[in-house]
């Protein structure tokens, strides 16, 4: 039995990895949908997505509509006559007409164990919440937001030193095989769809740079999780004067004295110790504006006064 005729829809590197898995498989990718080119860099030159670049290197037709709501865009997709559409971090909503267009509908690769985290940033939200497990879910798409029936799940532990970046990379290795497994089940009519329990669902809001601003009144344990979750984007930070200082690595330190949250308790070769709502946070790797990521001891050499004991951070 030959492979399926696929439309692929996705945009970032995470999606491109899954597109490569499909290109290397028995299935035929007959068209790729990705978001329109975006301005990037200092010159604000229009740059295509990682998915677009990969598709063009393999001579796969690329479609970049700003929306799939128009009848014209929907008819163009229907004309491809696909068996199935695979969606991975595409970034555009699919109207019902698109979900119904392929023979077997549309399936999605979602970077969490549904229904735990639905929405745009499941990897970071799982880390920030202190979850001990994550994974990838292959889901039959419906009109809701990540609410469709689950077809395949692949799980992995969240390690104590995981960051948003490291967990993202580990989920990449799970997603491709899980997707191919789901396609094989669909092709051979062996799927066993599992309905999601809406009572267990949480919404993984899109990440913003504003929420990466450290609030020292929060518990140190919560802030340490946030710092890991927001690496490498949007990166947690605090303000020192007019400078935004990025925090790349921090650990919780037991501290019972009633210091004002945000006050510097210690600054030495071990790191910068800051009082929090409960306990304290030892910042070990920082990045000053326009500079490299450095261990705090290397920053302290030239900035001792800025980070002196007793200084109050906002």
Domain boundary among 204, 236, 264: 204
Is 87 in the same domain as 228?
Answer: no
Q: 305 lies in a domain? A: no
pLDDT at 2: 85
* CB-side neighbour CA atoms (13 Å) of 172: 16
Question: Do 197 and 90 fall within a single domain?
Answer: yes
Q: Which residue positions in the chain have pLDDT lower than 50?
A: none
Give the residue from 170, 204, 238 where a domain finishes.
Answer: 204
pTM to 2 decimals?
0.93
Q: Which tokens in the block code for residue 40?
A: 């990037």
pLDDT at 1: 60
Strands in 106-110's sheet, in edge-to-edge order, are 62-63, 28-33, 5-10, 84-88, 106-110, 133-140, 150-157
Given a contact cutoff of 8 angstroms between Cβ atoms, the answer to whether 231 and 163 are in contact is yes
Around Cβ 132, how many Cβ atoms within 10 Å?
9
Among residues 8, 12, 1, the alpha carbon closest in space to that of 207 is found at: 12
pLDDT value at residue 66 = 96
Q: What is the dihedral angle through the alpha carbons of 54, 55, 57, 61, rounded to the nearest 10 degrees?
A: -170
Nearest to 307 by CA among 237, 217, 245, 227: 245
Is 88 within the bounds of a domain? yes
- Same domain? For 26 and 172 the reply is yes
One domain, residues 64 and 162: yes
What 3-state DSSP class applies to 271? strand
Residue 312 within a domain: no
What pairing do the DSSP bridges indicate for beta strands 117-119 and 84-88? Answer: unpaired
The pLDDT, as a whole number, for residue 41 is 82
In a domain, 307, yes or no: no
Residue count of the chain: 314
In a shared domain, residues 158 and 265? no
What's the rounded Cα separation, in Å, for the pair 103 and 114?
Answer: 25
- Do residues 273 and 151 share a domain? no
Q: Distance of alpha carbon 114 from its chain centroid, rounded?
A: 15
Same domain, 134 and 234: no
Structural domain that includes position 128: 5-204
pLDDT of residue 161: 96
The whole-angstrom separation of Cα 64 and Cα 268 is 52
What pLDDT does 113 receive? 97
Domain co-membership, 200 together with 214: no
**Whether 81 and 39 share a structural domain:** yes
Is 306 domain-assigned? no
Report yes or no on 314 lying in a domain.
Answer: no
Report the CATH number that the domain containing residue 261 is assigned in CATH: 3.10.25.10
Task: Give the pLDDT confidence of 215-266 residue by residue, as tens digits.
Answer: 999 999 999 999 999 999 999 999 999 999 999 999 999 988 789 999 999 9
pLDDT at 36: 97
Which domain-ending residue is among 184, 204, 224?
204
Q: Are residues 221 and 184 in the same domain?
A: no
Considering the domain boundaries, does residue 308 fall inside one? no
CATH number at 35 reads 3.40.50.170
Count of domains forming the chain: 2
Instruction: Write phi, then psi, for 274 (nearest 5 degrees).
Output: -120, 135
pLDDT at 207: 94
Kindly state whether residues 215 and 200 are assigned to the same domain. no
Residue 217 lies in a domain: yes
Do both 197 and 217 map to the same domain?
no
């Amino acid at each position: 039995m030959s492979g399926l005729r696929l439309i692929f829809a996705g945009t970032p590197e995470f999606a491109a990895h899954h597109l490569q898995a499909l290109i290397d498989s028995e299935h035929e990718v007959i068209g790729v949908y990705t978001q329109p080119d975006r301005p990037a860099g200092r010159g604000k030159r229009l740059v295509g997505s990682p998915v677009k670049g990969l598709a063009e290197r393999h001579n796969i037709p690329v479609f970049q509509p700003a929306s799939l709501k128009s009848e014209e865009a929907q008819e163009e997709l229907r004309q491809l006559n696909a068996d199935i559409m695979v969606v991975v971090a595409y970034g555009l909503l699919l109207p019902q007409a698109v979900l119904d267009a392929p023979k077997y509908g549309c399936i999605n690769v979602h970077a969490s164990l549904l229904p735990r985290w639905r929405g745009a940033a499941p990897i970071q939200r799982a880390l920030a919440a202190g979850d001990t497990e994550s994974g990838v879910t292959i889901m039959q798409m419906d009109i809701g937001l990540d609410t469709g029936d689950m077809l395949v799940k692949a799980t992995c532990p969240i390690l104590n030193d995981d960051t948003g970046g490291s967990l993202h990379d580990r989920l990449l290795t799970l997603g491709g095989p899980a997707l191919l497994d789901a396609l094989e089940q669909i092709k051979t009519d062996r799927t066993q769809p599992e309905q999601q329990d809406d009572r267990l669902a949480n919404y993984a809001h899109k990440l913003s740079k504003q929420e990466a601003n450290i609030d020292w009144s929060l518990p140190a344990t919560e802030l340490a999780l946030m710092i890991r979750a927001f690496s490498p984007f949007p990166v947690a930070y605090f303000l020192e004067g007019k400078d935004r200082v990025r925090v790349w690595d921090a650990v919780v330190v037991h501290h019972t004295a009633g210091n004002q949250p945000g006050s510097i308790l210690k600054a030495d070769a071990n790191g910068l110790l800051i009082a929090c709502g409960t306990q304290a946070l030892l910042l070990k790797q920082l990045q000053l504006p326009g500079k490299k990521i450095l261990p705090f001891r290397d920053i302290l050499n030239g900035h001792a006064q800025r980070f002196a004991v007793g200084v109050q951070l906002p």
